[in-house]
């Protein structure tokens, strides 16, 4: 399978959602259900003041993460996905949604939790470094970054392992790894700001 060499553009995702509102079966697959449970179980704290979810898609994980945050900002590049996420999370008064193309666009303020679930491998190496710089500037002292990536073969710019390892390397001594879990189909890394 040949790989895309550059960061996947917003049109790529909008096209996927236009033909199928749940192209990765977030709402129905056992893989996603189990991965979400492991992701939430990996969070080092029971609650966070202000969370940021990059690539929230249709909001399935967002709805499950919301009770763990006083405030949660969920962003995605796709307007179609965000419309569905808003419907799914309409009872979550602490959740705000925004359309952004991270890392080129980034929200203001600081966060004590930043979740990057199955998104970093859509970026090329240059944008992974830019994402790490954005995270470094936005993560509060003692805050956590959670990375989750499928480790199978893709046509994305980076594999799941390459994406996670490059991102962690770009953060350098800014963070320490407090959780590293490898499952049959994905890896889950939890980082804490020093």
Q: What is the CATH classification number for the domain harbouring 150? A: 3.40.50.150
pLDDT at residue number 128: 98
Tokens standing for residue 120: 């970093």
Tokens standing for residue 36: 């979400």
- Banded pLDDT at 176 (limits 50, 70, 90): very high
* Structural domain includes residue 112: yes
* Structural domain includes residue 67: yes
pLDDT in tens, 54-67: 999 999 999 999 99
* Structural domain includes residue 53: yes
- Beta-carbon-side half-sphere exposure of residue 76 (alpha carbons within 13 Å): 27
C-alpha dihedral sign at 172, 112, 42, 154: negative
* Structural domain includes residue 22: no
* Structural domain includes residue 7: no
Domain extent, residue 51, equals 30-193
Spatial distance between the Cα atoms of 186 and 159, rounded to a whole number of angstroms: 11
Residue of 123, 127, 126, 165 lying closest to 3 (CA atoms): 123
* Structural domain includes residue 11: no
Tell me how many domains the chain contains.
1
pLDDT in tens, 72-125: 999 999 999 999 999 999 999 999 999 999 999 999 999 999 999 999 999 999
* Structural domain includes residue 91: yes
Q: Is the pLDDT of residue 1 over 80?
A: no
Residue of 118, 93, 87 lying closest to 8 (CA atoms): 118
Q: Is the entire prediction scored with pTM above 0.95?
A: yes
pLDDT in tens, 21-50: 999 999 999 999 999 999 999 999 999 999
pLDDT at residue number 5: 95
Q: Is the pLDDT of residue 2 over 90?
A: no
* Structural domain includes residue 6: no
């Amino acid at each position: 399978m040949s790989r895309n060499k550059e960061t996947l553009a917003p049109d790529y995702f909008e096209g996927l959602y236009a033909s199928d509102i749940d192209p990765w079966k977030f709402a129905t697959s056992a893989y996603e259900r189990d991965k979400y449970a492991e992701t939430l179980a990996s969070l080092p704290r029971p609650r966070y003041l202000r969370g940021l979810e990059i690539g929230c898609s249709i909001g399935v994980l967002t709805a499950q993460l919301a009770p763990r945050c006083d405030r949660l900002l969920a962003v995605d590049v796709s307007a179609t996905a965000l419309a569905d996420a808003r419907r799914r999370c309409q009872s979550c008064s602490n959740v705000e949604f925004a359309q952004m193309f991270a890392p080129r666009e980034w929200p203001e303020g600081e966060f004590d939790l930043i979740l990057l679930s199955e998104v970093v491998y859509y970026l090329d190496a240059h944008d992974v470094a830019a994402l790490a710089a954005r995270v470094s500037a936005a993560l509060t002292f003692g805050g956590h970054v959670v990375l989750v990536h499928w480790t199978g073969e893709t046509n994305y710019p980076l594999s799941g392992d390459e994406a996670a390892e490059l991102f962690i390397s770009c953060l350098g001594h800014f963070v320490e790894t407090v959780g590293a879990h490898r499952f049959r189909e994905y890896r889950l890394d939890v980082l804490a700001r020093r």
